[in-house]
Structure 1
Amino acid sequence: MNGRTALIAVSAVTLLGAIFYFNGSSSSIFNMTSDNTAEGVPGLEFKLSQISRNPPSLLITLKNNNPSAPFTLLKWNTPLDPQAANLGLFKLVDEETGKEIPTDGLKVNRLMPPSEEDLVTVAPGTEEAHEVVMNKPWLPEKKPATYKVSVSGKFFGVWDKYGGDLKTSDLEAYADSPFHGRQFSSNEVSMRVE
């Protein structure tokens, strides 16, 4: 009877351990999928439009649709970054072949803390626009050509306040900003190259 009791005890412990393990795993999976970094910043929207065919140029517009909150964002690794075309943010697909064009991103060293030029503030109901020229060496030589273009990535730093209200300590700790790591994406546009 002693051996049988031990076997039942070991089986019960194993069963309870399995239940705990699988319940713990599923709650971790649930927490990962409900992580707010997968969401965007409420009210911020990127829109692309082509403004030139030769050289091919896109107008990147960031609109703040939030009725009451201003947003100040760190331009680094966003479409508003002066290096945007070289950072691997843009997805280009050849409309004729359906093949995606590789756009490997460069690693850019940044000076800390970010400067005023590295920030942009978008007040409620306003927008900020920036031109990106897409005549980089990684773009195929084929002309004429048409590409489907969109942009996506993650914000490094976004604050729900005006830039003048940010302190140097806020900029140094941009990874602690309220919307750090939130995703952004844009519409898809046809870009004609001639």
Structure 2
Amino acid sequence: MAGFWSSRTALITGVAITLLGTFYIYQSDTPTSFTMSSKGSSASNGVPGLEFKLSQISRNPPSLLVTLKNTHPDTPYSVLRWGTPLDPSALNTGVFSILDHDSGDEVPQVVLQINRLMPPPQEELITVAPGTEEEIEVVFDKPWMPQEKPAKYKVKAEGEFKGVWGKYGSEVTEEELNAYIESPFSGKSFTTGEIVLEVH
């Protein structure tokens, strides 16, 4: 009889521990499951704290303002702008996806192979201190843009960072620039939300 009560006590104790453990997990702030990020989100593979945003600032010529914001509380980032929306050659390198607003058809772009000077010069770095942002205007005036007006296009930018360092640009050495593909955040993805570009 004593053995029966001992087994029963052990069973009750085990169930109680399991229930308490389950309660703790569901009350904890620690996430217990992981879900895929929704399409267009930059949080899944991006650089923590870096966010790209597009906004229209002109309809004629059609222009977007590209903003890179650093929301990280204490880490500055130095970004090699090659292959990003901050690249002056962004409209020649296929960074932007451009779709006709009504038909959804993709606007054919002329994508160029650009020869880059190595190592990247310091002026190709953009440093974004914590809580600050950098902006550049992109004018969609390439010869391959459709000529009909007025018109609307769905535009977003996406790709991968070539080189990102978690420090100020003045601290990035020539050796690090030369080996930018080995930088801590090289290959991390970026994407912007989709915006409607109006052309008048």
By how many angstroms is 1:85 displaced? 1.2
Give unpaired runs (5+ residues) of structure 1: 1-37
Write the deviation string for residues 91-126 of structure 1: whole angstroms up to 9, x where unpaired. Answer: 111112121112242111000111121000000010
Question: Root-mean-square deviation (CA), in Å?
Answer: 1.0
Hey, what does 2:134 align to over in structure 1?
128
1:60 aligns with 2:66: yes
Hey, what does 2:168 align to over in structure 1?
162
Amino acid at match of 1:99: D
**SS of alignment partner, residue 85 of structure 1:** helix
CA distance in 1, matches of 2:90, 2:104: 23
Q: Which runs of 4+ in 1 moved over 4 A?
A: none
Hey, what does 1:96 align to over in structure 2?
102
The answer to whether the 8 A contact 1:157-1:174 is kept is: yes
Hey, what does 1:150 align to over in structure 2?
156
Amino acid at match of 2:194: E
Write the deviation string for residues 52-103 of structure 1: whole angstroms up to 9, x where unpaired. Answer: 1111010000000111110001010111111111111111111121211122
Amino acid at match of 1:158: V
CA distance in 1, matches of 2:84, 2:111: 12
Amino acid at match of 1:160: G
Write the deviation string for residues 142-175 of structure 1: whole angstroms up to 9, x where unpaired. Answer: 1110001100011100000011111110000001
Q: Of residues 169, 193, 200 in structure 2, which corresponds to 1:187?
A: 193
CA distance in 1, matches of 2:188, 2:109: 22
CA distance in 1, matches of 2:45, 2:103: 32
The answer to which structure has the higher helix fraction is 1
Equivalenced residue count is 157
The answer to whether the 8 A contact 1:70-1:122 is kept is: yes
1:44 aligns with 2:50: yes
CA distance in 1, matches of 2:86, 2:184: 20
TM-score, normalised to structure 1's length? 0.79
Give unpaired runs (5+ residues) of structure 2: 1-43
User: Which deviates more, 85-94 or 97-106?
Assistant: 97-106
**SS of alignment partner, residue 123 of structure 2:** helix
Q: Of residues 86, 93, 101 in structure 2, which corresponds to 1:87?
A: 93
Structure exhibiting the larger radius of gyration computed from Cα positions: 2
Amino acid at match of 2:126: V
CA distance in 2, matches of 1:193, 1:170: 42
Hey, what does 1:139 align to over in structure 2?
145
TM-score, normalised to structure 2's length? 0.77
**SS of alignment partner, residue 171 of structure 1:** helix
